[in-house]
Structures are given as C-alpha cells and as structure tokens.
Structure 1
Amino acid sequence: MSEAVEPMSYKGWAGIKRAFGTPSALTMAFLGFGSGLPFLLIASQTLSTRLRDVGLDLGSIGLISLASFFYLMKFVWAPLIDRYAFPLIGFLGRRRSWLLASQIAVTGGLFALAFVRPELGVTPLVLWVLVASFAGATQDSVVDAYRIEIAPESAQAALAATYTLGYRIGLILAGAGALYLAQFESWIVAYLAMAALMILPIITTLLCREPEQPEVRIQRRIDFFGAFWQPIASFFSTNGVVLALVLLAFVGLYKFPDQVIGVMAGPFYLDSGFTKADIATVSKLFGVWMGIGGAFLGGIAVAAFGFRRMLLVAALGVALSNLAFLLMAHNPGQLWAFYAALSADNLFQGFAGTVLVAFMSSLTDRNFTATQYALLVSLANLPGKFVGGVSGYIVEASSYSTFFILSATTVIPTLLLLIWLWPRIRDRSTA
C-alpha cells in the first residue's frame, strides 16, 4: 500500500484507471471501511435496534442517541490533530499516529459494548458510546486529512470513490451483518465480530505511508481562536449578515424531516413486527444500495439542471418519503410495505445528500474551504440530532403515524426560506 506520489496526469479515461489503480486508492478503501464500520454500532440504527430489542423505552433510546454527539463536533479538536502527532507513537507521523490511536480506541469501545447489559443500567453503555464516538469522529477527521494529503488534486475523485465504497461496505456489515449475527447468535457475538473487523484498517494504517509534509509551513499561522473566527467572519462579509443568516438556517433545516425520524427507525421496524433478519435484509442491504443509487441520481441531476431547482425537488422528496412509512404503520409485518417505504426513504436521502453537498460547497470561501465546509456539515446535522433525542417521547405521546405526518410538515420552514433565497442563489446555480 506504500507509494510515492509521482507527477503524472490523471485526466481522461486512462488517467481515471491510473488513479483507481494507485496503492493510495486501495488504502482509502480500507480506511473508509474503518470509518463506516463503527458508525451504526455507536451512533445510529444498529445501536437503537439493540436497545429496543432488550426492552428499553423509546424515550431512553432517543436520549442515549445524544451520546454520539462527537460526530457532529469533530471540528472542535481538529486543530490539535493538524498541529501535533499523537503522544508515544508520534514516530509514525502526525496522520498515522492519530489514525492508529483512534482505531485502537474504536476497537476497544466496540469490544466493551459487546459485554454491557443496557437492560440492567444504561450508564456503562453511555460511557462506552462516548469513548467510541469520540474515537470514531477523530478517525473520520484524520482519514479526510490523509486522503487530501496523500495524492494530488487530480486524483482526489478516485480516492473519494474508493473511500465511499469502503465506507458503504462498513455500513452494510455493521447494519445487516450485525443484525444477522444478533438474530442467530447474540448481540455479544455481533459486537465482538465487528470489533475484530477493525483489524483491517489497523493493519492498513501500519502499512501505508505517512503523507509528506510541506517543506515550508505557513508563516502567518493564526491562533486557535482565529482559526474559527476568520472563516465565520469571511462567510458573513461575503454574503452580508441577512443573507448569511438565512443561508445558515436553510442548511440547518434542509434535511430535518429525514433526520428527525432516524433514531426511531430501528424501534419502529421492530414494533411493526419485523425480525432483526428482516431489518438487516431490507434496511441494511437493499436500503444502502438504494441510497447509493439516489446519490448518483442526485449528481446527474445537479450536473444537468444546477442545484437550485434540485434543492426544491430534494426537499419535497425527503418530506414526502417520510409519509411512505405510513404504509408500514398501516400494514404491519408486510414486507412489500417495508420495501416500498425504504425505497422512497433511501432514494431521496441519497439524492438530497448529493444536492446539499453541491450547495454547501458553493457557499465556501476557497481560503477557508475545510473549516467552513466542516462547520456547515455540522450545522446541517445539529437540529435533527437535537429533536431526534426527544423523538421517542413524541411517539409515546401520540403514535408512529402522527409522528411521520408531523415530520413531513417540518419541511415548510425550509420551503419558505427557499422561496426567499430563490432569486438570490441564481448566480451560484449558474456557476
């Protein structure tokens, strides 16, 4: 997996094949696998399904999901990762030392979570979710930095593609694989197996090379607080205060209808009469591939029509896809309803994700691309994460059907903001 960066062209079909054939592309596939594997196990549906399976109430499940908040806050400690190597193993280099430390911590967290008994008390589980989510978020930050630094800009598309492939495979194993093991063995076996799979990215980190550091470091280094203040000041000075605030509100609310039901999805599947094996097949296998298809469709649509009109299509699609879950609510235990609901949900999730990425990328200042984009990504996930934490109480106070209808209506503020933004983002769409 070790390679030297050569001054070669990655343009054209031959260049694309060359980029995908580099050892760095294979490295990113394994590192992407390591990033995708723990996410569902500590921050999403596999964990919430496990908690419901052992009898926890929906309110507690929603609150426990907040323990994975580190995934939304990883930009806070990113300056430390950029500036220092991890202590004791710094000889590996800045990137590889942080990679190895975070991967070992993720492995340890998954191992510990295999043996916790949430039905006897959630405190140990919350503590280990905190450890694993902090380590997983750190791993994600370092992998992103490694990908950018290991190869020239012309090869980044190939590395991003192989990273995404590895990440999705990790999601499939942590979703479908873990649920199958839990169904036919136990949750202990499922989490131990996932912890064992982390040996693949650990070996990759030990074998891959450290990216070369620039010979001349930036001389006018801004201080820690300036690293956050200057990108924010630039965003407001570029757009003006009013437009900047509306853009931030729009980004924060855009995927809200989808995110608000995320925590309740796993418990809803179980309460609808489906087994863990059913959930694994439909949600974690079929659903993941539908999401990939939606992402490609979104990319084609943005290229063909620009992102302004696609922002409207995607926002409406995400909201309406929530109503598709009413099919499951009124046809419990029917696989056709499960497939129909998951088809709509994952297709528009993938579509909206690509459209939102294109839009947020257009908002960033090239002088502060990484910082502004990281902050926008966090903002896009924060509101839904907060409400997801209390979503269980909403369901218990009403019903799943009422909850899905309410979640669909939360698109209204987004549409009102888009109406106001419509003439003001014309030039961005053309660009």
Structure 2
Amino acid sequence: MDIAVSRRASPSPVTVLLSIGGLYVAQSVIGGITWTGLPAVMRDQGLPLDRIGLISLVALPWALKFLWSPAIERYRLPPAGKTRTGTIVVAGGLVSIAGMCAVGALGPAAWWPVLACLTVVAFAAATVDIACDGFAVQSLAKENHGWGNAAQVGGAYLGSAIGGGLFLFLVDSHGWRIAVWAMAFLLLPLGLPFLLGVANRARAETRAHVPSLASALRRPEIRGGLAASAIYVLAQKAGLAMLGPFLIDAGLNLSTIGIVNGIGSMFVGVAAALAGGALVRWCGTRNVLVLALILQAGSLFFFSVFDVFGGFSTTVLIAVAVLSSSGVMALGFVALYAQFMRWSDPKQAGVDFTLFQCMDALVSMAGGIVAGYAAQYFGYGAFFAGAGVIALMAVPAIAVVSNRR
C-alpha cells in the first residue's frame, strides 16, 4: 500500500485540469503541424500523395512508446519520494523546442532531414505524454475522469487549431521559417502552468508496486481495450488521412484550409469534446462510439460523392470537413479515452494508458500510409467510399468490444 509522508495538500481538480490541459495543447500543436499542416504544405508544393502518406512514419514513436513506458513510469514513481513528472516534462519540452527550431531552419524542401527532426520531436513529446497521462489518472478521482478526458481531447483540438490552422496561415503569410519558429516558442508558455503549479506540489510516498508491461497485459481490461482501440481508430482516422490533400485538390488554398482547421478545432472540436463528455454520462460509452462511427461514415460517403459527381458548393464541402474532422472525431474519442482512463491502474497508469495510445498510433500510422497509396492509385472517390464502408462494418464490432468489462 502506498503511504503518503507529506502533509502538503493535494492540488484541486481544477488546478490539475488546467495544468495538464496546457501540456495536451502543446503536444497537439506538434501533432497538428505534422499531420495536418505539413501534408497540406507538401501537396501545395506538388508532392505526390504516396510521398505525403509517408509522413505517417513520424507517428512511429507514438506507436512504440509502450516499449519505454515502464522505464519512464518507474523513474516517475520511485520506490520512495516525490514523483518526477516535472523533470520529464522539462527535458521533453526542451528537446521538442530545439527540434522544431531545426525544422524551421531546414525548410520544407529538405524532406528527409525534416522528417528525421520531427521524429525526434515526436519521441520527446510521446515521452512527456507517458508522464502526463499517468499523472492525470493518478491525480484525478474517478468522478473527475470525464473532465480529465475533456481536457485531454479539448486540449488536443485546441492544439490542432494552432498547429494545423494558425501554422498554415503563418506559412502562407510569413513563410515556413517564421511559422515553425513561432510554433516552437509557443510550447514554452503552454508548459509553464504545469511546471510552476502542480509539478511542485507532489507528495512524498513509498511505493511497493513496480510498473511493467507484463502486469498490464495480464489484465483482461487492457486486452479488451487494445482491441477496441484498433477497431475504432481504423474506422475513424484512416478515412481522414487524405482530407487535407483532398481539399487542396478541390481548389482550396493553404490560408483557407488553415482558417478552416483553426475554426473547426478551436470551436467545433472543443464544443464536441464537452458534448461528448455529457453524452457519455447520459448514454454510455458504447452508444456514443457507435453514433460517431455512423456519422463519420456519412461524411466519408459525402466526400466520395463530391469527388465523383461534384455539384456541391465549396462551402458545403468545408462544412462537412469541419464537422467530420473536428466534431465527430472529438465526440467519439472522448468516449474512447474516458473508457481507457477507467481501465488504467493508477499504480502504473502511464504504462496502461500508453498501451492504448500506442495501438491508436500504430493503426493511424499504418492507415495513413495505406490511405496515401489508395488515394493515389484508386482516386479520392473510391478511397473515401471504401473508408465509409469500413466505418459501417466497425459498428457491430465496436459495440461488442466496448461492452466488455
């Protein structure tokens, strides 16, 4: 049993939520640049879709971070003493800022060096995420897990609005270097609330449990959650991997897509995250997951029809793109990640939650690569139609898996 030896009061749930929310925003700024902004920039420069699909390889550290999550969690939770979450956040943040500055100096024409630098940044951000997720599950009572997940998903969409929206606008108006460096230095103030607040209020404890992958995989909740993550992410994310290039080929410029991404993530995504939290409480996770899959299938079929037949205004296309990539995605992932938090053991939450996220990243990476080739060689119409069918086929599967306890 863990025994607290410090009388310092625990931080309030509101303080914890605001602090971890800043870290989630910072991580998503990096993700928004990598997976939303960069594909659009590359397509604007004329790169083929199969090459753009290779950007998904940057997700490799996010897919493999479960390999070093036990070591990070054992460092974060020593056998005796205070947690070291703040130390991990500082180290990962400095590496991320340095890597982003290097990306800005290299320029988008240096394709492979930029990809290498972004992979290093992804490694640092993924390591910080292990510590941040473990801290969130450990610090929040179960009745506040929904709010914690809303902070996670809402922060993710706010960060995506900056990384995928504001970034593209700055690229179009001020150039690549200024845009990337502005994003890099924005990471610093986003991490300060955590470092100056809850990170300094950790309690000294003694801990008997040693975090490990074996301990996680022995639990049926973890195995069922991994299946749920794979099914859901394949159905929800793979179909949207080519949305940015599709909008470019439909005639939208970088500034327009940047504004669309920004408004969609900042307003629609955050609102949908809050609505998702309420719906999970009222209807349960399974019903929300199924609803999100059906809505996503409808939007994918619309993109297919738009490409094959046309006849719709660009305004309608933009509206559906925003609702699909921001609203429906946020709605579903609030439900999925809320369940992940409940399945995670607070004694090694950084390991358990990381396993779920690695499955998410692994399927996203593979789906993104396949999506690039499918769209390149079969066309957008066939690609989006196939993705819509996959989303519908996932409905009964996710209904069964998400009902497991």
The TM-score with structure 1 as length reference comes to 0.79
**2:219 equivalent in structure 1:** 234
Task: Give, in whole Å, the separation in 2 of the partners of 1:313 and 1:45.
Answer: 25
Query: Match for 2:278 among 281, 292, 300?
Result: 300
355-364 or 344-353, larger mean C-alpha shift: 355-364
1:152-173 Cα distance to aligned partner (Å, 9 max, x none): 7777766665565554433222
Q: How does 1:5-404 map to 2 (within 5 A)?
A: 5-6=8-9, 19-20=13-14, 22=15, 24-42=16-34, 44-84=35-75, 94-119=84-109, 121-148=110-137, 166-201=155-190, 203-204=192-193, 207-208=196-197, 209-218=199-208, 221=210, 227-235=212-220, 248-326=226-304, 328-329=306-307, 330=310, 334-361=314-341, 370-404=350-384
Q: Which moved more, 1:175-184 or 1:321-330?
A: 321-330
Q: Check conservation: 1:255, 1:318, Cα contact below 8 A.
A: no
Match of 2:206, SS?
A: coil
Secondary structure of the structure 1 residue equivalent to 2:46: coil
The answer to whether the 8 A contact 1:294-1:351 is kept is: yes
Partner of 2:79: none
Give CA deviations for 1:297-331 in whole Å, capped at 9, x if unaligned: 33333322333333432322222221232365325
Alpha-carbon distance change, 127 to 176 in structure 1, aligned in 2, over 3 angstroms: same
Alignment: residue pair count: 393
Q: For 2:205 and 2:351, locate their aligned partners in 1 and report how far apart those are by CA, in whole Å.
A: 23
In terms of mean alpha carbon deviation, does 156-165 or 351-360 score higher? 156-165
Query: What TM-score do you get using the length of structure 2 for normalisation?
Result: 0.83
Q: Is the 8 A contact 1:30 1:201 kept in 2?
A: yes
What is the CA deviation profile of residues 252-310 of structure 1, one whole-angstrom value per residue up to 9, with x for unaligned ones? 11231321133312211111110111112222213442223333333333322333333
User: Within 1, Cα distance between the matches of 2:152 and 2:283?
Assistant: 27
Residue identity in the other structure for 2:255 = A
Q: Distance between the aligned counterparts of 2:201 and 2:48, measured in 1?
A: 47
**Helix, strand or coil for the counterpart of 1:75?**
helix
Any conservation in 2 of the 1:181–1:190 contact (CA below 8 Å)? Answer: yes
Q: CA RMSD in A?
A: 3.4
In the TM superposition, what whole-angstrom CA distance separates every residue of 1:100-134 from its partner, at most 9, and x where no partner exists? 11111111111111122443x42211210111111
Q: Deviations over 1:167-220 (max 9, x none)?
A: 4433222122111111112111110111121231454465344342443221x5
In 2, are the aligned partners of 1:118 and 1:125 still within 8 Å (CA)? yes
> What is the match of residue 89 of structure 1?
none
Q: 1:143 and 1:113 mapped to 2: Cα distance?
A: 25
Counterpart secondary structure, 1:407 = helix
Q: Provide the rounded CA distance (Å) in 2 between the counterparts of 1:262 and 1:396.
A: 14
Moved more, 343-352 or 26-35: 26-35
Task: Give secondary structure in 2 for the equivalent of 1:260.
Answer: helix
Pick 1 or 2: higher relative contact order, CA cutoff 8 A, min separation 6. 2
Q: Structure 2 vs 1, CA of residues 366 and 67 (structure 1 numbering), >3 Å: closer, same or farther? A: closer
Q: Which amino acid aligns with 1:67?
A: V
SS in 2 for 1:221: coil
Contact 1:180 1:276 in 2 (8 A): yes
Any stretches of 5+ residues in structure 2 without a counterpart? 1-6, 77-81
In 1, are the aligned partners of 2:158 and 2:265 still within 8 Å (CA)? no
**Structure 1 counterpart of 2:39, which letter?**
S
In the alignment, structure 1 residue 411 sits paired with structure 2 residue 391: yes
State the alpha-carbon separation in 2 of the partners of residues 309 and 159 from structure 1: 20
Q: For 1:381 and 1:45, locate their aligned partners in 2 and report how far apart those are by CA, in whole Å.
A: 15
SS at match of 1:261: helix
Deviates more, 1:326-335 or 1:394-403: 326-335
Q: Distance in 2 between matches of 1:51 and 1:140?
A: 27
